[in-house]
Chain A
Amino acid sequence: MKQEIIFRMKSPYRDDFKVWGFRFGEGKKTLAIVGAMRGDEVQQQFTCSQVVKNLMELEDAGKLMPGHEILVIPSANHFSMNINKRFWAMDNTDINRMFPGYEKGETTQRIAAAIFEQVRDYKYGIQLASFYMPGEFIPHVRMMDTGYQNLKLAKNFGLPYVLVRKPRPYDTTVLNYNWQVFGTQAFSIYSGDTDIINKDSAKIAWLSIFRFMHNMKIIDHNMHPGTCSYVLKDDDLETILSNQSGILYSLRGAGDEIKTGDLLAKILDPFTGETRSSILSPVDGTIFFAHHQPLIHQNTVMFRIVRF
């Protein structure tokens, strides 16, 4: 393993800001993995650190297949993470809205440019991503429907679901989209959590990355083949919006199997505790996403359900 600085910048008073890369093996640029790009992505940082740890062990055991280079960038925004901010410490911009970056532009454009310069040209790219809404997901792989995506490849993670999403205008500046447009097969792994470390879901995520590497013959690491992934489009998910606001009293969570009419949650009056709304499942299926903040706004996504 070679540890190197990919981007370095002086700050007026803080310690230097450095983005580190961990390079394994030699040969064709086969796989790049990017971890936390937002300051609250602690789970993503943790998952990536476990990927690095396990890769070091495999390297010592001689289990990296020759002819492949793997690059891991566990963290691109610890200047924000260290001070509990989500976006860039100075101007609140989002590094993952700056790709492909611009080396003469604003600070976060420069960070994005430095990262993209390093991670482009790899055959496969994996981003450990988070969602902008608070909640828990079933661990899954996402690909953007750019016309370049290869869904068969996504099944090699052995995660229960592969979600294909049509990009919206704001998606054109995220890493995943730019990876694909520049010829990398790009995947985003959603492990379910963001600002807390959930060891179980993090393990599902990092094991899926090792499964992918094994299936792609990048490493020699026999393991359980995982599950046969079910491919979903955004439209295949049934969305339940809150019809009231108040205190959310959740009864079911991500991964639960449910039947039509099952009580999923209650929305309570924040003064009297009375039930304002009982949220019943309109379908048979599995909960894919569940809102998990204690308070809920009206017309917010509470659940997304895979219909069966």
Chain B
Amino acid sequence: MIKTIVSEGLPVDEQLLIRKKIIKNGDSDKRICIVTGTHGDELEGQYVCFELIRRLNENLDFLDGTVEVYPALNPLGVDSVTRGIPTFDLDMNRIFPGDPNGHLIEHTAYEIIQDLKGADMVIDIHASNIFLREMPQARVNVKMSRKLIPYARMLNLDFIWIHDAATVLEATLAHTLNVLKTPTIVVEMGIGMRLTLEYGNRLVDGIFNLMKKMKMWSGPVANKISKPKLSATGEVFFMNAEVSGIIIPSVTHSVDVKKGDLLCQIVDPFEGKVLQNVLSPVDGLVFTMRTYPVVYEGSLIARIFSEKTINEETA
């Protein structure tokens, strides 16, 4: 069944519609929600929605509970290659929990929260942006980490990044739901404007694995589930461009590098000159790598996870 949770008038002959697919079987009250499409240029979640529903449809008898899939929280954005909410120029993941008496967007955010509230688990799928490629990973606020990490481990990911609490992030969907005691895990994987089927299939395997542990799924699950590294056991290093230019990568993401390894060169095509050799500051795992070639000073190039901190190394 497809249910419309928000319907608001656009100026000419169209409604802004936010819809979810409900798949229900058995007697259990358990409910898992898969949401994506908050950022209209992040599409990896589209394949996950398709593949999850396809597999469920084929084996519905094994399901005991409700799976709800929200493929496009920002339908105007997804359908128009726009990251934010078109015409409002707003990042949709900075407007939660919304306001029942507020304007269109705040009201929409409020309705989304009301609809998701109370689920046993929410998976909020993101796909980086158009510049950076991400290894399949969960992002967890340090304040919620104790509760969420055991679930994040079931999702067949490579990495769990526990990040600091920042006031500005309180306006995200995930934070809002977690505060309302609806456990929500943010998954980041792949890259904007593309589908990475391998990652999509892995996450779908992970979701079935999670449902099995939640006793909602008695069907087959993948027999190998990846054991993610935990950011708390090391340190995350950010590599930003020191000069503006064009990037020529030397490594892909998801690889282990040694301290001093060349990650990429920033070059000046006009002069045929190398402006900066970007070297890894540590031994570690490249879990984010820039693929978009043009950089300004400060543009993020890579994020590296090192299981040893620099202090330990020098000590």
A-B contacts counted at CB < 8 A amount to: 98
Residues from chain B with Cβ under 8 Å of A168 in the complex = 171
Question: Chain A nearest CB: distance from B124 CB in Å?
Answer: 17
For chain A, what secondary structure do more than half of its interface residues adopt (helix, strand, loop), or is it mixed? loop
Across the two chains, which residue of chain A brings its CB closest to B12? A270
Stretch at the interface among A7-15, A119-127, A139-147: A7-15
Residues from chain B with Cβ under 8 Å of A92 in the complex = 83-84
Choice from B89, B95, B131, B238 contacting A86 with Cβ under 8 Å: B89
Cβ-based interface call for B170 (8 A): yes
Bitwise, B1-40 to A at CB < 8 A (1) or not (0) is 0000000111111001000000000000000000000000
**Cα–Cα distance between A109 and B240 once the two chains are bound (Å):** 12
Q: Are A295 and B11 in contact (CB under 8 A)?
A: yes
Cβ-based interface call for B232 (8 A): no
Q: Are B94 and A270 in contact (CB under 8 A)?
A: no
Q: Are A301 and B299 in contact (CB under 8 A)?
A: no
Q: A107-B297, A107-B299, A170-B171 are in contact. Are A299 and B8 (CB under 8 A)?
A: yes
Choice from A91, A104, A270, A298 contacting B131 with Cβ under 8 Å: A91
Chain A CB within 10 Å, residue with most, of B244, B246, B299: B244
Q: Are B296 and A270 in contact (CB under 8 A)?
A: no
Q: CB within 8 Å of A: which of B58-92?
A: 83-84, 87-90
Chain B: interface residue total (CB-CB under 8 A):
39
Q: Are B11 and A107 in contact (CB under 8 A)?
A: no
Q: A12-B244, A271-B13 are in contact. Are A297 and B104 (CB under 8 A)?
A: yes
Q: A169-B170, A245-B9, A297-B9 are in contact. Are A10 and B244 (CB under 8 A)?
A: yes
Cβ-based interface call for B113 (8 A): no
Bitwise, B90-118 to A at CB < 8 A (1) or not (0) is 10001100000101100100000000000
Q: A91-B131, A168-B171 are in contact. Are A106 and B300 (CB under 8 A)?
A: yes
Bitwise, A3-47 to B at CB < 8 A (1) or not (0) is 000000111100000000000000000000000000000000000
Cβ-based interface call for B222 (8 A): no
Q: CB within 8 Å of A: which of B249-305?
A: 294-300
Q: Are B170 and A90 in contact (CB under 8 A)?
A: no
Bitwise, B113-147 to A at CB < 8 A (1) or not (0) is 00000000000000001010000000000000000
Residues from chain A with Cβ under 8 Å of B107 in the complex = 299
Residues from chain A with Cβ under 8 Å of B245 in the complex = 12
Cβ-based interface call for A198 (8 A): no
**Cα–Cα distance between A271 and B11 once the two chains are bound (Å):** 11
Q: Are A12 and B103 in contact (CB under 8 A)?
A: no
Cβ-based interface call for A105 (8 A): yes
Residues from chain A with Cβ under 8 Å of B170 in the complex = 169
Choice from B10, B171, B296 contacting A11 with Cβ under 8 Å: B296
B interface residues (Cβ-Cβ under 8 A, vs A):
8-13, 16, 83-84, 87-90, 94-95, 101, 103-104, 107, 129, 131, 167-171, 238, 240, 243-246, 294-300
A interface residues (Cβ-Cβ under 8 A, vs B):
9-12, 86-87, 90-92, 97, 104-110, 132-133, 168-170, 172-173, 239, 241, 244-247, 270-271, 295-301
Given A169-B94, A169-B168; 14 other pairs, CB 8 A cutoff: A11-B296, A86-B89, A90-B299, A91-B299, A92-B84, A104-B238, A105-B240, A109-B298, A132-B90, A168-B171, A245-B10, A297-B104, A298-B8, A298-B9
29 A-B pairs within 8 Å (CB atoms) are namely A10-B243, A12-B294, A12-B295, A90-B296, A92-B83, A92-B84, A97-B168, A104-B240, A106-B240, A106-B299, A110-B298, A132-B88, A169-B169, A169-B170, A170-B95, A170-B168, A172-B167, A246-B12, A247-B11, A270-B12, A270-B13, A295-B12, A297-B9, A297-B10, A297-B16, A297-B87, A298-B8, A299-B8, A300-B103
